[in-house]
C-alpha cells in the first residue's frame, strides 16, 4: 500500500510540472531565404568536390594495394609492424605521379590499412617523413616560423 502511494505521488508530480510550463510563440521566420539557399549550394558544391577528390584517392589506394605484392595480406588483416614501412614504400612509389599530395596519400593509406597515423609515421622511411614535413611546412609554415634549418 505504501509503495503504491509513492508511485501515485511521482505520477502526480510529473503531471503538475508539465502544466506549469508556458509555451511561447516567439518564432518569426526570416525575411529572405535566398542567402541561406546560396550558402547551402556553395557549401555542398565544395564538399562534393572534396568528397569526389577523396573518393578518387581511396579508389586509387585500393587499386594499387590489390595490384601490389601485399594484396595477400588483405586490408582487413592486421599488418605486422615490421612490414608497415615496406607496404608504405611500395604504395607511395606506385602513386608517386598522381595529383594527390603526399599527406593525402599518407592519410589515405593509414585509413585503408587501419594503422594509427603516429605509428605509421614513426615506422616509415626517413625520405617520406621529410616529404611530409616539407609539405606541411609549405602549407602552414611552422618550421620556417620557428627558424628550424634541419629536422632530421
Is residue 125 one of the residues assigned to a domain?
A: yes
Is residue 71 one of the residues assigned to a domain?
A: yes
Per-residue model confidence as pLDDT tens for the chain (152 residues): 555 555 565 555 554 555 555 555 555 555 555 555 555 555 555 577 888 888 889 899 999 988 888 877 766 778 888 888 999 999 999 988 778 899 999 999 999 888 899 999 999 999 999 888 888 888 887 777 766 655 55
The beta strand positions in the chain, using DSSP E, are none
Is residue 75 one of the residues assigned to a domain?
A: yes
Whole-angstrom distance, CA of residue 121 vs CA of residue 30: 50
Q: Are 61 and 91 in contact (CB under 8 A)?
A: yes
Is residue 101 one of the residues assigned to a domain?
A: yes
Is residue 139 one of the residues assigned to a domain?
A: yes
* Total domains in the fold of the chain: 1
Is residue 98 one of the residues assigned to a domain?
A: yes
Please state the pTM of the whole predicted model. Answer: 0.63
Range of the domain at 59: 36-145
User: How many residues would you count in the chain?
Assistant: 152
Amino acid at each position: 500500500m505504501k509503495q503504491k502511494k509513492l508511485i501515485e505521488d511521482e505520477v502526480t508530480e510529473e503531471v503538475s510540472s508539465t502544466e506549469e510550463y508556458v509555451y511561447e510563440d516567439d518564432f518569426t521566420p526570416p525575411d529572405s531565404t535566398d542567402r541561406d539557399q546560396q550558402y547551402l549550394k556553395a557549401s555542398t558544391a565544395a564538399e562534393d568536390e572534396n568528397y569526389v577528390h577523396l573518393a578518387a584517392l581511396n579508389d586509387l589506394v585500393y587499386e594499387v594495394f590489390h595490384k601490389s605484392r601485399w594484396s595477400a595480406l588483405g586490408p582487413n588483416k592486421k599488418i605486422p609492424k615490421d612490414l608497415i614501412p615496406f607496404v608504405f614504400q611500395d604504395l607511395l612509389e606506385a602513386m608517386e605521379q598522381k595529383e594527390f599530395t603526399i599527406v593525402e596519400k599518407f592519410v589515405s593509406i593509414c585509413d585503408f590499412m587501419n594503422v594509427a597515423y603516429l605509428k605509421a609515421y614513426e615506422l616509415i622511411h626517413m625520405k617520406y617523413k621529410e616529404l611530409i614535413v616539407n609539405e606541411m611546412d609549405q602549407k602552414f609554415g611552422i618550421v620556417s616560423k620557428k627558424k628550424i634549418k634541419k629536422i632530421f
